[in-house]
Structure 1
């Protein structure tokens, strides 16, 4: 399974352009039903809004995506939002931009910039993560091997998610699937082949993305 980027939790920003309010919201969603349920709630909350425009992209195969202009001129709202999501290569993401019209028309170009800019604004603020498909594994090593192995792990920047000290030392790791073979070869070399390996089912692990990587 492939790694992908998404948002960790919902977030919201607001901007004003020529007296119109644009409320920008982002959500993590994994199904169309989940997205539709959120849209129902938002429409109820903002029942006086002029437009509730949105787009989402789901991590399906093939990728599932959908957008709505909600009464704005065709292609001026939903598509710009969708373009921002795809440009940042995000999945399992719903972005909603709610507009309260302020009496001044923005024109086609102005609407595209407003809706695309609103989507970008809320994404710049929110916390993004990489869903990293990782092998879950335990290494059981002797105390004599633990010292040199832990020093090597520090140098490699690989941090165990858990350490258990009993008769032996059990170290638990979440290793990107693509890196598992080379990591285990390195462990075998560090411990002279004495480490015992327990492999568990691979799963997605959340890795926070820094603002510089957005």
Structure 2
């Protein structure tokens, strides 16, 4: 099972102007190469008249898919520095496109590398970085007489409460980190004097914003 990892929260875009050239950055999450290519093609279609639509993406649990495209800029001055920003920030499943409208002033190789790197960084800042942490969804089945105490304890704990289902018994669905199930089960048994039935329902990633 995939371990905790960093990615972006979702779609974001930003724009900077350097020496009269416009650099418009588009960032999105992509969990497959097909999704990344589709996103890139949509941006290219949107900006048919742009001088360049440079792109980069990293996909997969082990960063096994990495691509960079300079789209006409001098080799290694656009796609690669964009990819390096993704790698430096430790992002996975992320695609970025930087559209450039040339302003008439050449930036040189070093200037292009800095410009595309800066544009990518600003786009990521807008999209926001999140950490996806693996959790187990636990189902706690209890009599209604325990509901008030259990709900209060959970809401004041580190365990995120997903929902409460009111049936013949109360079913309280709670997330625990993937390595804290035993601690949670023991804690819940202590609260309910062993009257709770607890089972793991499924595994799920929760997202937490990275400052």
Q: TM-score, normalised by structure 2?
A: 0.90
Q: Secondary structure at the match of 1:74?
A: coil
What corresponds to 1:134 in structure 2?
135
1:19-30 equivalences in 2 (<5 Å): 19-30=20-31
Question: Following TM superposition, where does structure 1 have runs of at least 4 consecutive aligned residues deviating by more than 6 angstroms?
Answer: none
**Shift in CA distance, 63/185, structure 1 to aligned 2, threshold 3 Å:** farther
Given that 2:7 and 2:29 are in contact with CA atoms closer than 8 Å, whether structure 1 keeps it comes out as: yes
- Is residue 192 from structure 1 mapped to residue 193 from structure 2 by the alignment? yes
Given that 1:8 and 1:127 are in contact with CA atoms closer than 8 Å, whether structure 2 keeps it comes out as: yes
What corresponds to 2:19 in structure 1?
18
| Matches of 1:139 and 1:167, distance apart in 2 | 13
| Matches of 2:63 and 2:130, distance apart in 1 | 21
Query: Deviation at 1:25?
Result: 0.4
Given that 1:127 and 1:208 are in contact with CA atoms closer than 8 Å, whether structure 2 keeps it comes out as: no
Query: Deviation at 1:44?
Result: 2.1
| Matches of 2:75 and 2:201, distance apart in 1 | 49
More divergent stretch after superposition (148-157 vs 106-115):
148-157
More divergent stretch after superposition (110-119 vs 34-43):
34-43
1:4-153 equivalences in 2 (<5 Å): 4-61=5-62, 63-153=64-154
Q: Secondary structure at the match of 1:178?
A: coil
The size of the alignment, in residue pairs, is 210
**Shift in CA distance, 166/39, structure 1 to aligned 2, threshold 3 Å:** closer
Q: Deviations along 1:98-131, whole A, 9 cap, x unmatched?
A: 1111110112221111101001111111243332
- The CA RMSD measured in Å over matched residues stands at 1.8
What corresponds to 1:183 in structure 2?
184
Q: Secondary structure at the match of 1:150?
A: helix
Query: Deviation at 1:62?
Result: 5.3
Q: TM-score, normalised by structure 1?
A: 0.89
Query: Deviation at 1:150?
Result: 2.8
| Matches of 2:51 and 2:84, distance apart in 1 | 22
Given that 1:28 and 1:94 are in contact with CA atoms closer than 8 Å, whether structure 2 keeps it comes out as: yes
Q: Deviations along 1:67-115, whole A, 9 cap, x unmatched?
A: 1122222222112111111122111110000111111011222111110
What residue ranges of structure 2 are gaps of 5+ in the alignment?
none
More divergent stretch after superposition (86-95 vs 151-160):
151-160
